[in-house]
Amino acid sequence: MERLSQIGNHLTSAAASDAVEKAKAKNPEDAVIVKAYRTALTKGGKGKFKDINSDVLLKKLLDGLFQTLPGFDKSIIEDVVIGNVLNPGAGANEHRAAMLAAGIPSSTPFMAVNRQCSSGLMAVNDIANKVLTGQIECGLAGGSESMSQNYGPKSAPVISPEILRDGQAKKCLIPMGITSENVNEKYTIPRSDQDAFAASSYQKAEKAVKGGLFKDEILPLEVEIEADDDDDDDKEPKKTTIVVDTDEGIRPGVTAASLGKIRPAFKKDGSTHAGNASQVSDGAAVVLIMRRSLAEKLQLPVLGKYIATTIVGVPPEIMGVGPGYAIPKVLELTGIPKEAISVFEINEAFAGQALFSVKRAGIPLEKVNPRGGAIALGHPLGATGARQVATIMRELKTGELGVTSMCIGTGMGAAAIFVKE
Amino acid sequence: MLSFRTTGYNGYGVRYSPFYDNKVAVATSANYGLVGNGRLYLLSINDDGSITQDNIFDTQDGLFSVAWSESHENQVLTSSGDGSISLFDITLSKFPVMNFKAHQREVFSVNWNLVEKHSFCSASWDGTVRVWSPMNSDPLLTLTSAKDHSVIASAPGSKMAPPLSAKPSLENTTNDCVYNAVFSPHDANVIISCNSASHLQIWDIRSPQPLQMDFIAHGGLETLSCDFNKYRTSVIATASVDKTIKVWDLRTISGVAHAGSPLQPHHNVGPTPLNRFIGHDFAIRNIAWSPHSGDKLLSCSYDMTCRVWNDQTDDKARFLNKTNHGQACVNVFGRHREFVVGCDWSLWGEPGWVASTGWDEMVYIWDAKRKY
């Protein structure tokens, strides 16, 4: 076999100067994704996960993950990084606890990350880079968010008056919906375009659900919910166990016309509304990353290869433009032409910012979110980045390259490239 | 064009006899040379245009290269995947008359000394070039490049350094598989060799420190073949995985490592070649300068073609006072249906006849001047 690989080198390395070929090349030191799963995304405040916190979500998802890995020695995981936005301290305590409860030994360290809506991707970036530098051989990245439990007035930012005297700093307080209106106004994105984009997100997601396309990436979770068909307070509420395996946010039969009737949510004369903005959701996603050599040793099939991530800063008042700057930067960094990318999974915080980003990055719309985005599926803040990795790993065909990207509150954008194997 | 099928065996090397105008030796391997036996074919080209098989020798491992003895008309050398070199007498059957075993890994080329005629050299994936006498089963000399082959060459104009195209492996941690080593046709003591770390090395076997010059020929990409020009004593050509052939004048190469010194940092790109032939679509496996003309080069490639090139930097061409850019590739032979691995010029008859062989189990004898 040594002879085969030596001669094989003559052919495969002929295009080694080609960035795409280089990205697709399989080397023992690659950081590869072995598993990527998510929970179903449920509606915040009223969905099936509303009574459980992000730590329970994470623990249950990890249990599900390890069930797909029979005989896997959890102690080989050398680091766990979980993204979260709303929990106090980004879930540093409760997610460490959840990881231990899922049977990962205490000898495995834990880190909580919070770069707002990109936290899940930052976790992937952190673990993958640690694998690439040789700091660890195997790590678990992910994100978990219960917006039902932790979203609300208590999650509003508090910035000291002294800091707020600075004009730029003050803009970090602008609500996300207003930043969306700012993008829509500044780049004159008509509401009709936004509604058409949002409607297509719903339609694509509906089609994907009908086709069973999310089945592979969603691990069904068993949760107890209160059967509240009566309002008797004196009785102990009856609890029933149900299996959650379907996204709740997807509404059938949405059209641009039906969205056109919804009133603007943030500004009277605005164009952002409940139907063309991301939903408030609960959910979690995890990605198991390791050195290719280790995956081969353990005989674990490889889902995909991590290539690179970049994060850029943009003005806070138009934070939604982030992907429009982050995607070209990551393509430039790797030398990969945008034509070589088959799928762009761009988080739909708002239809307007997603449309602007797609336009600025020069991406054909048909390559964006082929199975719908956060407008239809939901946006559990800290989990979204890892959720998109789980989704894109199913959207891409073997040998194809994909980009996942999102805008980030307070003015940033992140983008990462993966290869499906 | 004449053809012969080496059924069941994939061609690796082909050579015209220097003694008989109609004999060709072909080194072949079963299963594309990846695993299994080898077979040496001795073929005769008949007056009626047919090719007949005079003799065959089966070997334990695949054969990667063949060379006729320059001193005995019936002797042929082969090099094998198991690290052995064998000398066959084509009038006998079954077994070689001599075995030479010192290499630890695949021997990818053997080349007979054209000047002194009593020695030959071999290049192996064990990282060494060895010089042998046909009389002695042990090598006369072993040329080892004790150099750091983790040196990474950077492509011109690029900020990022491309890694070597071949990664060091467990069996070859220094990443210096030698693919080809040939004696100079002008000096019995000079050998050039090229390796997987993209290095071209020039050796003088008289010297206590044989390594005379060492430079990166193809920017970090594997260099698979090299050959001395038969007319211009200081001109060589190299061919690489980077799909190009480079023509070098050794006199113009300066400031590179000499006699075992590490590569100079200012020369990590490698020196500038005299000429460059671009046209093959995949890695180039073998090249040979014409025995009849100083400006003709034959190449064969993984792109399933053989090409004939006209080197405009030939001394004669300099006085023609016209540029012929884009006219370097004078012929493309596309009959092979798989990788073309071996090619050679005929020394006989009308200049321009060549032989080629490849993984499609075919040996073609064709005229480099004609379009097929």
Q: Per-residue pLDDT tens for B320-329? A: 555 555 578 9
User: What DSSP line would sit under B69-131, residue for residue?
Assistant: -SS-TTEEEEEETTSEEEEEETTS-SS-SEEEE--SS-EEEEEE-TTT-S-EEEEETTSEEEE
Residues of A in contact with B173 (CB under 8 A): none
- Give the one of A2, A14, A27 whose C-beta lies nearest to B283's C-beta: A14
| pLDDT at position A277 | 96
CA distance A188 to A183: 8
For residues B76 and B70, give the distance between their C-alpha atoms in angstroms, rounded to a whole number: 9
The residue in chain A having the minimum alpha-carbon distance to the alpha carbon of residue B280 is: A14
- At residue A48 the predicted structure's pLDDT band, cuts being 50, 70 and 90, is very high
Cβ within 8 Å, pair B33-A3: yes
State how far the Cα of B4 lies from the Cα of B44, in Å rounded to an integer: 10
Residues from chain A that touch B163, judged by Cβ atoms under 8 A, are: 16
With beta carbons less than 8 A apart as the criterion, state whether A383 and A142 touch.
Answer: yes
A379 catalytically annotated: yes
Calculate how close chain A gets to B161, using CA atoms only, in Å. 10
Burial environment of residue B136 by CB neighbours within 10 A (0 to 12, 13 to 18, 19 or more): exposed
Q: What is the DSSP letter of B238?
A: E
Chain B residues in contact with A7 (beta carbon < 8 A): 33-34
d(CA A257, CA A390): 32
Q: A6 to chain B: which residues are within 8 Å by CB?
A: 125, 166, 169, 177, 196
- Mean pLDDT on A391-408: 95
pLDDT of B156? 40
Residues of chain B with pLDDT under 50: 148-162, 257-268
Name the fold adopted by B2-367. Methylamine Dehydrogenase; Chain H (2.130.10)
Return the pLDDT at B258: 46
Provide the shortest C-alpha distance from residue B242 to chain A (in Å).
5
From the list A4, A5, A16, the residue facing B165 with the nearest CB is: A16
Predicted pLDDT of residue B172: 59
Q: Residue A13 is nearest to which of B34, B155, B241, comparing CB atoms? A: B241
| C-alpha dist (Å) from residue A136 to A65, A97, A140, A289, A291 | 20, 21, 11, 10, 8
B122: how many CB neighbours lie within 10 A of its CB?
A: 27
CA distance A285 to B164: 38
Distance from CA of B143 to the nearest CA of A (A): 22
Provide φ and ψ at A38, rounded to 5°: -140, 165
Residues of A whose CB is below 8 A from B166: 6, 9, 13
* H helix or E strand, kind and range, residue A328: helix A322-334
The Cα A120–Cα A126 span in angstroms is: 10
Rounded-to-integer distance, Cα B361 and Cα A87, Å:
68
Catalytic residue among A95, A117, A138, A273: A117
pLDDT of residue A7: 85
Q: Kindly state the tokens that stand for A395.
A: 């959207």
Which of A3, A13, A16 is nearest residue B81 as measured by Cβ atoms?
A3
Only one residue has tokens 């072909």, namely B26
What pLDDT is attached to residue B270? 63
**B211 membership: H or E segment, kind and range:** strand B211-216
Q: How many CB atoms lie within 10 A of CB B130?
A: 25
Element spanning B23, H or E: strand B23-29
Q: Given a cut of 90, is residue A264 above it in pLDDT? A: yes
Does the ipTM exceed 0.95? no
At B168 the pLDDT is 57
Q: Which of A232-241, A375-384, B20-29, B43-52 has the weakest average pLDDT?
A: A232-241
- The CA distances from residue A189 to A175, A197, A259, A416, B342, in Å, are 19, 11, 16, 26, 63
B338 close to B359: Cβ distance less than 8 angstroms: yes
Structure tokens belonging to residue A308: 């690179």
Q: Is the dihedral of CA A38, A43, A49, A53 positive or negative?
A: positive
Tokens of B327: 């006219």
Q: How far from A267 is each of A234, A272, A273, A317, CA to CA, in Å?
A: 44, 8, 9, 15
Could B241 and A5 be called an inter-chain contact, meaning their C-beta atoms sit closer than 8 Å?
Answer: no
List the Cα angle B155/B225/B37 in 5-degree steps. 130
Q: Which residue has the higher pLDDT, A9 or B25?
A: B25
- The residue of chain A with its CA nearest to that of B178 is A6
Give the lowest-confidence range in A314-323, A351-360, B26-35, B246-255: B246-255
If you count DSSP H runs as helices and E runs as strands, how many of each does chain A have, helices first? 16, 12
